[in-house]
């Protein structure tokens, strides 16, 4: 068994244990392998070990990887999980299956306008700045309902739910509080007749807390692929700026 395959198995065991501890079904929590700066050959190795969902933070790198692994395109779901600038929306609309970080209506409108007619709707989540951090992207919780209604009405998109990256905390109770707030926010939107089913939240350090509070997608990178190299080292021909 390869190192990547063994790492994936270990992560899945951790997800299953956290789900069972929370009284949930492990299959209700999807693993999104964060493959930023990971070479296409390593992604292929993870695919061969059974992984099907991959998350990218940088537009140019992600598109290059999608093209390089074109023979797997129908069997991989590519998620864009980083901040998205207006001048990069077309590439994302044309190549990705999911966008996790919608934080303003204009970005959603551009993705809607630029999604090719022959492709399935782009699955999207609204990023919530649940810890009110000035350094983080995301919508304030009180502004989410208005944005959610507007995004849900756009053609070419399907609003699936919410995403958050809370402020780091080492105490399990402190970790759970922002995730509990996210769960309550999603429930309030569902009560308002938005058929949402996704909470994209939880990474290596707080995965258990996120699963306990209802995460349906956890985003894990280094526990699968090891320590990251810089994007410019792994992809020297990519655009150096963060997308």
pLDDT at 133: 81
Domain span at 200: 3-228
Domain membership of residue 235 (yes or no) is no
Measured torsion, CA atoms of residues 158, 162, 163, 167, in degrees rounded to the nearest 10: 160
pLDDT at 234: 53
Domain membership of residue 243 (yes or no) is no
CATH number for the domain harbouring residue 197: 3.20.20.10
Domain membership of residue 238 (yes or no) is no
**Angle formed by the axes of helices 40-48 and 3-21, to 10°?**
60
pLDDT at 132: 87
Q: Which residues contact 86 (CB under 8 A, 6 or more apart)?
A: 106, 107, 110
Domain membership of residue 134 (yes or no) is yes
- What does each of the 243 residues of the chain score in pLDDT, given as a tens digit? 899 999 999 999 999 999 999 999 999 999 999 999 999 999 999 999 999 999 999 999 999 999 999 999 999 999 999 999 999 999 999 999 999 999 999 999 999 999 999 999 999 999 999 998 888 889 999 999 999 999 999 999 999 999 999 999 989 999 999 999 999 999 999 999 999 999 999 999 999 999 999 999 999 999 999 987 655 455 555 443 333
Domain membership of residue 88 (yes or no) is yes
Domain membership of residue 242 (yes or no) is no
Q: CA angle 76-77-80, nearest 5°?
A: 135
pLDDT at 243: 31
* Number of separate domains in the chain: 1
pLDDT at 230: 53
Domain membership of residue 23 (yes or no) is yes
pLDDT at 236: 52
Domain membership of residue 38 (yes or no) is yes
């Amino acid at each position: 068994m390869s190192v990547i395959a063994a790492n994936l198995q270990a992560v899945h065991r951790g997800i299953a244990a956290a789900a069972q501890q929370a009284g949930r079904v492990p299959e209700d929590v999807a693993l999104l392998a964060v493959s930023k700066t990971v070479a296409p050959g390593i992604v292929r190795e993870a695919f061969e070990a059974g992984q099907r969902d991959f998350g990218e933070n940088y537009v140019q790198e992600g598109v290059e990887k999608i093209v390089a692994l074109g023979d797997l395109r129908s069997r991989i779901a590519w998620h864009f999980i980083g901040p998205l600038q207006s001048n990069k929306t077309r590439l994302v609309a044309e190549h990705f299956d999911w966008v996790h970080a919608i934080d303003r209506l204009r970005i959603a409108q551009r993705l809607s306008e630029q999604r090719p007619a022959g492709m399935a709707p782009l699955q999207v989540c609204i990023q919530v700045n649940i810890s009110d951090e000035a350094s983080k992207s995301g919508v304030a919780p009180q502004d989410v309902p208005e944005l959610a209604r507007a995004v849900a009405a756009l053609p070419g998109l399907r609003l699936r739910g919410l995403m958050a990256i809370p402020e780091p905390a080492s105490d399990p109770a402190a970790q759970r509080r922002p995730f509990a707030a996210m769960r309550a926010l999603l429930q309030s939107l569902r009560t308002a007749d938005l058929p949402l089913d996704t909470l994209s939240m939880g990474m290596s350090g707080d995965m258990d807390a996120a699963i306990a509070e209802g995460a349906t997608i956890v985003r894990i990178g280094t526990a699968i692929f090891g320590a990251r190299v810089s994007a410019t080292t792994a992809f020297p021909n990519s655009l150096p700026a963060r997308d």
